[in-house]
Structure 1
């Protein structure tokens, strides 16, 4: 005979059903613990466990004195793919806008030069762009580009064709290397991404190769509260040594 699911799990499923069906949209208030205790005839401890697990899973947020609310869905990016932030934002039904902060020719400093296997002082193109989704900052893109692979980079109208789109067109991918890390927002990053200083950020650094040259080195920073990376792979895709 099948065992009946525990009460806290039944309550979790009830709440998730309302969230996933759109009955309770993001930022809407979830019934209070007292209301759930009364409606389901279960203990406060059971309700608290269900809410705690939903909060840990990022489905709801709990604010002392205010109550429990449906969490905002985070934007997602594929961890193992190189995708356009413009396409990702538009695919979610949001408006993409970009602000050009820096576009310049620079002499590579030692740390940057090493990323390109070049000598310090070698000329590189540098751009810094802020991408917004529905006018809310979502990604700060700080990119260095090898002029050999993308000679017209500084002439591109980034309002019409963002760097990713241009590079995919002119410097076909040969190899990709990237890393993801968490960091605390500096005052500068906090101002640009509209978060409090010290807030958690997710940062992806990526190098791409084209025609046997490092074509681009980019640092992409996102507010952790608005974004997450997702990915899936088959075990057979990776070999162990």
Structure 2
């Protein structure tokens, strides 16, 4: 099957960035230039640039052109996205290391966060999400067994906790808190941080129609990750 022209253009741009031929913040060819180079319509070239912009690989500036984005990964604070999908949208290779998968008795803060009784059994997982074999995010998650009874039986190298929980307890609501932190020694070890650096921590609780599903702490090195979003206001 012949690869569509817009996909060929996307691969061409990604290859230039991966090989470091094009550096971050460097201007890339315009729609007209790409259309001429690949003998396609301007609309086809625009589609390629638009899809790479939406994936965070490129950034567009009105009147100036299209540029290679900075190499920090970006997640939206306005929606819950599956981290594996985020990595794949950037044409990265996603992998996961499962560090801990266990049942524990909920201490008071965890019990309150999940809306369960103190000392009741809850599930805990600790994972490291990787992009191109480099640690991108540490995820510690506590799960309500009543809403996800098969959690500990899942292979989280094959699917993410977000994917599993979305299938058994579809998300209806989420709340975030975001702050900058200095990682402790354990976090540094898990994230392969040899030089201590500030990290971005997101605390997130998610609900389904039946109650609180999970309470998670997501920690990412500040040099690799950022949060962003786009709002459109109706007049």
Matches within 5 A, 1:1-241: 24-26=22-24, 73-196=71-194, 198-235=196-233
Is 1:130–1:141's contact at 8 Å kept on the other side of the alignment? Answer: yes
How far 1:164 sits from its partner (Å)?
0.7
SS at match of 1:164: helix
Corresponding residue for 1:57? none
Is 2:200–2:219's contact at 8 Å kept on the other side of the alignment? Answer: yes
How far 1:236 sits from its partner (Å)?
5.8
SS at match of 2:220: strand
Is 1:185–1:196's contact at 8 Å kept on the other side of the alignment? Answer: no
Aligned residues: 176
Indicate how the Cα distance of structure 1 residues 214 and 94 shifts in structure 2: closer, same or farther if over 3 A, else same.
same
* TM value normalised by structure 2: 0.69
User: What does the per-residue CA deviation read over 1:167-207, in whole Å, with 9 as the maximum and x for residues that have no partner?
Assistant: 11111112111111100111111111122454100011110
Matches of 1:174 and 1:24 in 2, distance apart? 41
Q: Deviation above 4 Å: which 4+ runs of structure 1?
A: none
User: What does the per-residue CA deviation read over 1:73-93, in whole Å, with 9 as the maximum and x for residues that have no partner?
Assistant: 101111111111111011101
How far 1:24 sits from its partner (Å)?
4.2
SS at match of 1:111: helix
How far 1:72 sits from its partner (Å)?
5.2
Q: Let me know the Cα RMSD of the aligned residues.
A: 2.4
SS at match of 1:93: coil
* TM value normalised by structure 1: 0.68
Matches of 1:23 and 1:90 in 2, distance apart? 21
Corresponding residue for 1:15? none
- Structure 1 gap ranges (5+): 1-18, 29-69
Matches of 2:89 and 2:69 in 1, distance apart? 20
